[in-house]
A and B are shown apart, each in its own frame.
Chain A
């Protein structure tokens, strides 16, 4: 098995739907590939809270704690399979000295350690993909996750405060790791009906595309209130609501992220079929299962 494909989900502000997107992506990947989900929001731990109820039901496998947290030997880090092919990392609360370590760390060194730790976990559980759910805001762990990731996704909303946070995230990351080449793409999430997709694409091209290295806007997710309400009760929304925009767009996003990566398992179709309006639907992964 080669290096795992790491997807970092970051944002410049909390509450934009990172965790929902991270779980949706991990759940869709887990349909055909072994996938690991790691909560890198050490302060809020929303993802850990979401899967807390599943922890007692599943078998726990103890794993080593990451070195960058300088954890005690008695600190428990474990991994359990919360759904078929989907592995979740559980750990205890971090203390003040550990959060201080994270804040004082050098981003590149932290990225190296994080990359090594994620590779270790992926190797232990034979995972092809790792999804990192980061803290909502510009913190060093998020920057390190972006540097360590194969693909990074910055989640934003079309409003002034979130846009300000998004730009601040990019600016701070550039300051913290000026020479690092980060493959980061933008997603507009929770988009209300007042915003047309044409407007958002045009806005992105006019103002933001250069900030993302000329890459296209990755996706626009509409606000689906029924999913937001159901998320806490059933985290695997793309399984429960396969016809939702969340499910359809997540499949497209994953295809878009890895279409140029031959090792990802996303087989690229011939140019003629790629032009077909339904080509995305026929995209298959490794074992032929629909992605």
Chain B
């Protein structure tokens, strides 16, 4: 397993904090950009719009990541460890079967 894949696999265990953090960030951002929208200064309005889009973007990314992690990644450290150990055990099992088959094919004597 490469480092990127390992990081990705571990991300599943933090999907709840990621969703909570992105949700909390978006709510606070939406609350703050409300005042900027009401300002008369166009720079403040543009900043508010950027913050609004950022908040929406972050919550959407958080949700998409949560759904992906829920469906595809191990959710707990135990699942992650079992996945890694299980794939290693299966690789050994397949190797043993190949060795067994090769021994069988080898002619006697």
Tell me how many residues of A have a C-beta within 8 Å of chain B. 19
Using A160-B82, A171-B100 as known contacts, say yes or no to A199 and B75 having CB atoms under 8 A apart: yes
For the side of the interface on B, what is the size category?
10 to 19
Interface residues of A in 186-207 (CB under 8 A from B): 192, 194-196, 198-199, 203, 207
- Interface residue A182 (Cβ < 8 Å from any Cβ of B): no
Interface of A toward B, CB cutoff 8 Å: 158-160, 163-164, 167-168, 171, 174-175, 192, 194-196, 198-199, 203, 207-208
Stretch of B22-30, B43-51, B57-65, B87-95 contacting A (4+ beta carbons < 8 Å): B87-95
Residues of B within 8 A of A164 (CB): 89
Expressed in whole angstroms, the Cα–Cα distance for A192 and B97 within the complex equals 31
Say whether chain B's binding surface is mostly helix, strand, loop, or mixed. helix
Residue on A nearest B77 in the bound complex, by CB? A194
Residue among B77, B78, B86 with the most chain A CB within 10 A?
Answer: B86
List residues of B (64-109) whose CB comes within 8 Å of A's CBs: 70-71, 74-79, 82-83, 85-87, 89-90, 93, 96-97, 100
For B84, the closest partner residue in chain A by CB is A160
A168-B93, A194-B78, A195-B78 are known contacts; what are 8 more A-B pairs with Cβ within 8 Å? A160-B89, A163-B85, A171-B93, A195-B76, A195-B79, A199-B83, A203-B83, A203-B86
Given contact pairs A171-B100, A175-B100, A198-B71, A207 touches B86 in the complex (Cβ within 8 A)? yes
Q: Is the CB of B85 within 8 A of A199?
A: no
- Give 21 pairs: A residue, B residue, CB < 8 Å, sorted on A: A159-B82, A160-B82, A160-B86, A163-B85, A163-B86, A167-B93, A171-B93, A171-B97, A192-B78, A194-B78, A194-B79, A195-B76, A195-B79, A196-B75, A196-B76, A199-B74, A203-B82, A203-B83, A207-B86, A207-B90, A208-B90
